[in-house]
Amino acid sequence: MTLGELRPGERARVLKIGTQGMLRQRILDMGITPSVEVKLVKVAPLGDPLELTLRGYQLSLRKSDAALIEVEKM
Amino acid sequence: MPITIALAGNPNSGKTTVFNALTGSRQHVGNWPGVTVDKKEGQYCKDKNLTILDLPGTYSLSPYSAEELITRNYIVEERPACIIDVVDGTSLERNLYLALQIMETGTPTVLAVNMMDEVAAKGDVIDFARLEAELGVAVVPMEARNNKGLDQLMEAVNRTIGQNRRPRQLEIYSLAGKVDEDTLADRRYSYIQALVDTCVQSKKNQAVHGESLSDKLDKVLTHRFFALPVFALVMYALFAMTFSENFLFISGLPSPGIALATLVETLWGGLTRVVSTFLENAGAADWAYSLVVDGVLEGIGAIFGFLPLILVLYLLMSFLEDSGYMARVAFVMDRIFRRFGLSGRSFIPLLMGFGCSVPAIMATRTLDSEKDRRITTLLCGFMPCGAKLPIFIMFVSVFFAEGNKTLVLFFLYALSLSVSILVSLIINHIAYRGQVSNFLMELPHYRLPTLRSVWIHGYEKVKGFVQKAGTVILAATILIWLLSNFNMHSFTGENRLERGTLLAEMDDSFLASVGKAAAPVFKPAGFGAWKPTVGIATGWVAKEMVVVTLAQLYSEDVGEEYLEQYFASMDAAALKDLGFSDGIYSPAEAFDIYTEAVLMEGGDEHALLSIHADISTKQAALAYMAFNLLCMPCFAAVGAMKRELKSWRRTASAVGIQMATAYLVAVLINLVGSLF
């Protein structure tokens, strides 16, 4: 499944980042690396973007970007 | 020999607070070549030989954004004597990622672990000695917002420079270039995770500790149902505190922004009167008098008049920024604005544009990306600011007296928004096609900003406006003064012979000649006559000047007789209300009062009858309003644009787009209107 399919409150482990180039580098730099554990905290009031907790901080990212990240639910 | 120390760190790590605390008021804001990013430098307040450079806040050194490129190139190419990397102690794991990349360059580094008060409140204990030994750099705990740890930090910096202490070469540094980017990022983060595990003792059990205040606040501020109402309320408060004339719904109570602006205007008006009386008594030539009073003082007054609005808006903005709410604004509004190729944060400058474009344009600095800053700056000029309103009101009352006036105003507001959206989409499509979404963004903890940091932001903004925009505004105002008060006869001496003065009447001035030459251009828009054309040009000094200029140019319609008749039916109370001293009609005051209190308020439907000869149809009137709405904003706003866009070329192309858009829309309105 992808990060975009998680529901609020669910945790998952990142498996693969399915994009290339600048966006991939940015995703990695922000700490979404293979094997990291993330938790989906909430979805913004208008349905997008998402708020994640990982590595002790809160990150927001768009659903379209989250759909590129493969995860396994924990 | 001055030594440069660079400050680096993640956004929201408190880097700017550290910078302000170290340099005090000895700051200089310049710009990095080619981009809209501030370059802030300052002298360390306890040692003038140390220059401190505030690098842009970044999450990594990957060449991802303008900010990251600047930071990377500076560190690699300029080789500062020492880098202070400010890290947020409450989220070491992410903050140390940048630290690792900085230390990998081999530049002497000191790690400033900031926000120790929050670390303690969280219940974490950091083993600084261990961190120092592992990384091979000095590690200093601090609370920059409470001015704690600054001296220790600078001692560590001096020691590091003195010993030329370079960071320990970790094994992980040798991986760069040998493995792919995934593995590299993963290895760096794994290393950091292990490091943090050994160096930080944390009470991880949130159950015991409960939710932090920040978490609770966030539950409300980004709540599914409450988020938007709260957001609307915050935006209303922001707007009302800056621009409202009936603050807190109390009629006649000015908001802090308006109260200060009125005060500045009154003081400046007083000074202008003193100077003009002095010049009259001294027997100054009328051109000198006019240059000083109508050119220089008017121009400087225009600059000063905006300062209170900029100050108040920016104090409030930096409060929102420092408190962490601004990131939530983007979070909540992103969905809507992304469709238009902008970020949620663009909402604030655009909203402020309804009050005044100058502080609105200054507010674009808080946007995250270069692209958003540039586009939003341009769009601010399309907003129906308070000074454009008198133009609309006068035209609506003169041309749409029997029609639905509200509908016309609504049309203009809707036009402003739809044109903005369209232009943004087009620019995105043409100039920024295929740019990566930049919405991977930290949502920082909520914090109560310190008064000091909020004040420094506001003050810096005001100072920057005067320094960077001031000359543009003054020069442009004087140029328009020159054009509207002189003609060739001023220089041949004919004016002096015939009229006893060097100056020319406006309808015989250079500006009139330029207007006559340019007028045919506006034929397709329906107002191709020279008087409306000149009106547009004086509108660049200040938009409401369009009304004043038109009244001056159609002066046969506002002759003494007409004014006397117009005011004749009014009683003393009404006259006094309009501004006649003692409620008595006086021809000397009549023209100014007529333009300001009657024309601008839409009080006279039969005003300027001969304007109908130049603008003969309703669609032409609408086109004229639309042109003034969308064309180049006032010089003050252009000055602000120059300050934000940081280059003449970019400013000129933004103004070019505004003019072209205004022209196209005006022609379109006139064409479509004439079909009915």
As for the ipTM of the complex, it is: 0.95
The whole-angstrom distance between B8's CA and the closest CA on chain A is 16
- In the chain, the amino acid numbered B261 is A
Residue B300 is encoded by which pair of tokens? Answer: 């400087």
How do the domains of chain B map onto residue ranges? 3-207, 224-377+420-431+452-461, 555-596
Q: In this structure, how many other beta carbons lie within 10 angstroms of the beta carbon of residue B430?
A: 8
**For residue B40, how far is the Cα from the chain centroid?**
18
What residues of chain A lie within 8 A of the CB of B336, using their CB?
46
pLDDT at B396: 93
B181 touches chain A (CB under 8 A): yes
* Nearest-by-Cβ selection for A25 from B64, B93, B437: B64
The whole-angstrom distance between A36's CA and the closest CA on chain B is 9
- Please answer whether residues B639 and B473 qualify as being in contact, where contact means their C-beta atoms are separated by less than 8 angstroms: yes
**For residue B217, how far is the Cα from the chain centroid?**
29
pLDDT at B434: 67
B185 touches chain A (CB under 8 A): yes
Token match 């046969």: residue? B556
Continuous H helices in B254-297? 256-281, 286-290
What's the CA gap between B418 and A52, in Å, rounded?
34
- Helix B530-538, helix B618-630: angle, nearest 10: 30
What's the CA gap between B159 and B146, in Å, rounded?
24
**For residue B551, how far is the Cα from the chain centroid?**
32
pLDDT at B207: 43
* Nearest-by-Cβ selection for B97 from A29, A61, A64: A29
Token match 């160096």: residue? B199
Q: Do B181 and A17 touch (CB under 8 A)?
A: no
Q: Do B441 and A60 touch (CB under 8 A)?
A: yes
Q: Do B439 and A31 touch (CB under 8 A)?
A: no
What's the CA gap between B43 and B3, in Å, rounded?
10
Q: In this structure, how many other beta carbons lie within 10 angstroms of the beta carbon of residue B566?
A: 18
B94 touches chain A (CB under 8 A): yes
Pick the residue of A57, A63, A65, A68 with the most B CBs within 10 A to test the interface with B by mutation: A57
- In the chain, the amino acid numbered B381 is G
Minimum CA–CA partner of B91 in chain A: A56
How far CA B579 is from CA of A25, B169, B253, B571, in Å, comes to 65, 77, 20, 13
Residue B453 is encoded by which pair of tokens? Answer: 């940091």
Minimum CA–CA partner of B324 in chain A: A58
Phi, psi (rounded to 5 degrees) for B324: 95, -5
Minimum CA–CA partner of A61 in chain B: B440
What's the CA gap between B586 and B575, in Å, rounded?
10
Q: How many residues does chain A have?
A: 74
Expressed in percent and rounded to 5, the helix, strand and coil fractions of chain B are 65, 10, 25
- Per DSSP bridges, beta strands A37-43 and A11-17 are antiparallel
Look up the pTM and report it. 0.86
What residues of chain A lie within 8 A of the CB of B443, using their CB?
51, 58-60
Q: Do B94 and A49 touch (CB under 8 A)?
A: no
A 1-60 residues with CB < 8 A to B = 17, 21-31, 33-36, 42, 44-49, 51, 55-60
What's the CA gap between B545 and B538, in Å, rounded?
6
Give, for B224, the enclosing helix (H) or strand (E). Answer: none
- Mean pLDDT value of segment A35-57: 93
* Nearest-by-Cβ selection for B222 from A28, A42, A61: A42
Q: Do B222 and A51 touch (CB under 8 A)?
A: yes
| Domain B3-207: homologous superfamily in CATH | P-loop containing nucleotide triphosphate hydrolases (3.40.50.300)
Pick the residue of B206, B325, B331 with the most A CBs within 10 A to test the interface with A by mutation: B331
What's the CA gap between B59 and B189, in Å, rounded?
13
Continuous H helices in B324-445? 325-338, 347-352, 357-362, 370-380, 389-399, 405-431
Q: In this structure, how many other beta carbons lie within 10 angstroms of the beta carbon of residue B284?
A: 16
Name the DSSP letter for residue B469.
Answer: I
What residues of chain B lie within 8 A of the CB of A64, using their CB?
437
Domains located in chain A, CATH noted = 3-68 (2.30.30.90)
Q: Under DSSP, is residue B86 helix (H, G, I), strand (E, B) or coil?
A: strand
The whole-angstrom distance between B335's CA and the closest CA on chain A is 6
What residues of chain B lie within 8 A of the CB of A59, using their CB?
440-443
What's the CA gap between B629 and B395, in Å, rounded?
13
pLDDT at B402: 81
Residues of chain B with pLDDT under 50: 207-208
What residues of chain A lie within 8 A of the CB of B442, using their CB?
30, 57-60
